[in-house]
Homo-oligomer: A and B are copies of this chain.
Amino acid sequence: MQNFVLQNPTKIIFGTNTLKEIGPETAVFGRKILLVFGRKSIKQNGIYDQVLSSLNQAGVSVVEHGGVVSNPLLSHVRAGIAAAKKNQIEAVVAVGGGSVIDTAKAISAGALVEHDVWQFFKGKKSIRQTLPLTCILTIAAAGSEMNGGMVITNEETRQKFGVGNRILNPRVSILDPSLTFTVPADYTAYGAVDAIAHILEFYFTTQDPATPVQDRFMEGLVINIMESCNRVLQNPADYQGRADLMWSATLALNGWTAAGLGKVGFPMHMIEHSLSALYDIAHGAGLSIIMPAWMGYQAEKRPEKFIQFAQRVFGITGNNQQCALQGIERLKNWFASINSPTTLGQVGINESAIAEIADNALALAALWRLNDYNREIIMDILAACC
């Protein structure tokens, strides 16, 4: 186990009938808030009305900033920052999934500086303060509700960049599994894939060969994500399944599993970010394509961890390279079983596009210091996705 510092101050309010807490929990931080949300869904399913009602009852006045799209856009962040500054906003409330929460985080940081917010993403400026952020989560996937990460797409430069800082952690996140009953099957599946990807980036990229506490924690989460996803695809209103999936997805990326792993990388996300920046496919869909291919590449370099994964997660017996590959195959088959794509062809990208995707990914490899990845390696991994 490696040295680490861990502090996660986010207050989680989890369970049924908790949405109404948003008003009193937010009023502690400010009386004039920017409400960040997506497009139609929260108005259709009634969440929007309940949120406004709770905020109003708590004496909080609201400036709206809706319209966040998946793979959230820098231009929309900038517009939110302008609105926050113009209205002297005191706190930000996010109602949505990772894209909405990430947008809200970027606004909360950008509202307190004079320079352009993209400077944070390019690593040119450090985030020193933020407006307080409270969240209502509406999809189990990104984990943004309990961490200090955010990912935004610059549509001018076609770059999807992320930044992490502990002070971006939401102050409060409300997780009501019943709010995810209406998430459609495809996005439920993509969310599960995203959460598994977060875990496996840590699990397979740690350089430390001895992280048994973290390993068992992560293996348990992967099993739970698959089991609960299967349940809710069968019955979308299975509260218990939605709860297990939601909490597992939060734990996948809240820092608990990674504590003690030392340096880890996000190579699958690196390649996927380029995929979704260039083709605007769903993040989880991109990941289920990239993941098995990358795992195959990585398993040659470090088979022992893949053997452990195959044994403990899929109960595969044996102790060799074959066993490692069987584990990867089982995961890939599971992605297929939940109708998440496993080849580029399935999302309409053909082999001729590989070079452009690889070039885009290389920029991110440099930024994220994934120095092991050159153009050839990335192209090889992408070729295995065809």
Contacts and interface: CB of A to CB of B under 8 A. Distances in A.
A216 B212 contact: no
Nearest to A18: B3
Contacts of A18: 3
Given A216-B220, A216-B224, A248-B213, A7 B12 contact: yes
Given A216-B224, A223-B216, A227-B212, A14 B8 contact: no
Interface stretch (A85-93, A239-247, A319-327, A372-380): A239-247
A98 to B, nearest CB: 20
A4 B15 contact: yes
Interface in A1-57: 1-18
Contacts of A12: 4-7, 259
Contacts of A4: 12, 14-15
Interface secondary structure of A, over-half rule: mixed
Nearest to A7: B11
A149 interface: no
A47 to B, nearest CB: 18
Most buried by B among A5, A16, A177: A5
Interface residues of A, number: 40
A219 interface: yes
Contact of A16 (B3, B217, B220, B247): B3
A260 interface: yes
B5 A13 contact: yes
A14 B259 contact: yes
A14 B258 CA distance: 13
A166 B220 CA distance: 28
Contacts of A6: 11-12, 14
Nearest to A166: B11
A14 B4 CA distance: 5
B9 A7 contact: yes
B15 A213 contact: no
B210 A240 contact: yes
A243 B5 CA distance: 14
A1 B243 contact: yes
